[in-house]
Structure 1
Amino acid sequence: MTDAPQRPHPTDVPAPAAAPLDVPAPVTRTSLATDVALVSTFAAFIAVCAILPAIPTPSGVPITLQTFGVILAGLVLGWRRGALAVALYLAVGLAGVPVFSGGAGGLAVLAGPTVGYLLAFPFGAALAGAFAGRALRVPVAWRYAALVGSGLAASFLTIHPAGIAGLMARLGLPFGEALAIDVVYWPGDVVKNLLAAAVALAVFRAFPDLLRTRR
C-alpha cells in the first residue's frame, strides 16, 4: 500500500518574491542643454585663444590663436553650433568684456583694422563645419587631410577676404597693399589649421558622441 502524498507544510511554501523597488528613470539631458553647454564652452575657449600673448604686426592686426579656436569650433561642433559659439564670443566682446586680442572689448573694435576678420569669424566656423561634415565621411586614412582642407578652405573663402576688406576700409589701403599685409598671416594660418584638424580628431576619439551629434 502506497503512502498518501503529503501536502507541503505552509512554512515550506516559498514566499512570493518581493516587488522590486521603484528606480527613478535616468535623467536625459535635453538637446538644448547640450547645445548651450557646447556653444558656451567653445566661446570661452576662443576667448582664451584670443587673450593669450599675441605677436604684434605693423598693420595693427596681431597674430593670435583666435583663428585656431574659430576653425576648431566649426570642425568639432558642426556648422550651426560652431557659428553660434563664435557669435556668442563676439557678442560678449562687443558688449564690453575684454575677450578680444590684447584685452580689448566693446564696440570700439569695429572701428579698428581687425573688424573684417572679427565679423567673418562666424562665417568661417560655419563653413568649416559644413565642409567637415563631408570630410568626416571619407576613409579614415584621408580624414585628417580632409579636415585640414576644410579649415583652410573656410579661412581663405571667408576670413581672409573679409580681413582684406577691413584693412582697406579702416586703413585706407588699396587692394594690393591690404593683400600684402594679409599674406603675412597665411603661414601661421596653415599651421593653425593643421593643429585644429589634429585636435578635432583627438576630440572625436575621446568623445565619439560629438561625432554623431554634430550639427
Structure 2
Amino acid sequence: MTVAVAPSPVRHRVLADAIPGSRVRDGLLVVTGTALIAGIGQLSVPLPFTPVPLTLGTFAVLLVGAALGPVRAALSVLLLLALGVAGAPVFADGGSGWALASFGYALGYLPAAMLLGHLARRGADRSVWRTAPAALAATAVVYVPGVLWLMGFTGVGPAQAVAMGVVPFLVGDTIKAVGAALLLPGTWRMLRRQ
C-alpha cells in the first residue's frame, strides 16, 4: 500500500531575508518594524462621528507583515503592544495604555501582520494582483477585534460599532491595500535588478 503525501507549500523569502545577518539582524528588524508601525501610526486624523481616528497604522502593519514575515512581524506588533500598554506613546496621537476606543484595532494588528507575513512567504507579495487581495484580507482581520473592542468600550451594539469602526475606513483601507500592492512587488523588482 502506498500513501500519497501532499507536497508542502513553496516557502519564499520575504524582503527582510535579502538583508544578510542572523539573530542580531532579526532583532534589529523587529525593533525597526515596531518603530515603523508606531511612527507611521502617529499620522492620524480624528473623525467627529467615531472615537476611532483615521491612521496609517494599518498600512505600516501591511508593510511590516509582508516585509518581515510572520514571526518577525508578530514580534514587532507584540513589542508595540507591550510598549503601549506599559505607557509608551506608540498608539495614534501619542496614545498609550489599553483604555482606548481604538485599542482593539491595535490588537488586530497581530493576526493581520502574521497573515500577510504568511502569505508573503508563499509569494503573495510578488505581484499587484496577488498582493492586493492578501492586503485586503489582512486589513479585514484588523476589523474583527477592533469592532469587538469598540462595542465593549463604548457599549454600542454590533450595527453601530460597524458603522463607527468599519464603514468610515473602508475607502482609506482599500487605498492602503492598493498602496501596499504597488510598493511591495515594486520593491521585489528593484531587488531582482540588483
Give the structure-2-normalised TM-score: 0.81
Cα displacement (A) at 1:125: 0.3
1:148 aligns with 2:136: no
Counterpart in the other structure of 2:116: 128
**1:115-149 CA distance string (max 9 Å, x none):** 21111111110011112222448xx6xx2111111
> What residue ranges of structure 2 are gaps of 5+ in the alignment?
1-19
Name the CA distance, whole Å, in 2 between partners of 1:185 and 1:135: 27
Name the CA distance, whole Å, in 1 between partners of 2:190 and 2:86: 34
> What residue ranges of structure 1 are gaps of 5+ in the alignment?
1-28, 209-215
- Aligned 8 A contact 1:75 1:147 in 2: no
The equivalent position to 1:68 in structure 2, one of 52, 59, 67, is 59
SS at 2:163 equivalent: helix
The equivalent position to 1:184 in structure 2, one of 164, 168, 185, is 168
Name the CA distance, whole Å, in 2 between partners of 1:136 and 1:184: 27
Q: Which aligned segments of 4 or more residues in structure 1 are displaced greater than 3 angstroms?
A: 205-208
Aligned pairs for 1:162-181 within 5 A: 162-181=145-164
1:104 aligns with 2:95: yes
Q: Report how many aligned residue pairs link the two structures.
A: 172
Identity %: 34
- Aligned 8 A contact 2:104 2:149 in 1: yes
Cα displacement (A) at 1:30: 4.3
Cα displacement (A) at 1:36: 0.9
Change (3 A) 1:37 1:185: same
Letter matched to residue 142 of structure 2: I
Counterpart in the other structure of 1:88: 79
Give the structure-1-normalised TM-score: 0.74
Cα displacement (A) at 1:54: 2.4
Change (3 A) 1:128 1:98: same
Letter matched to residue 44 of structure 1: A
Counterpart in the other structure of 1:19: none
Counterpart in the other structure of 1:3: none
- Aligned 8 A contact 1:52 1:64 in 2: yes
Cα displacement (A) at 1:92: 1.8
Measured on the aligned residues, the alpha-carbon RMSD in Å equals 1.9
**Which has the greater radius of gyration?**
1
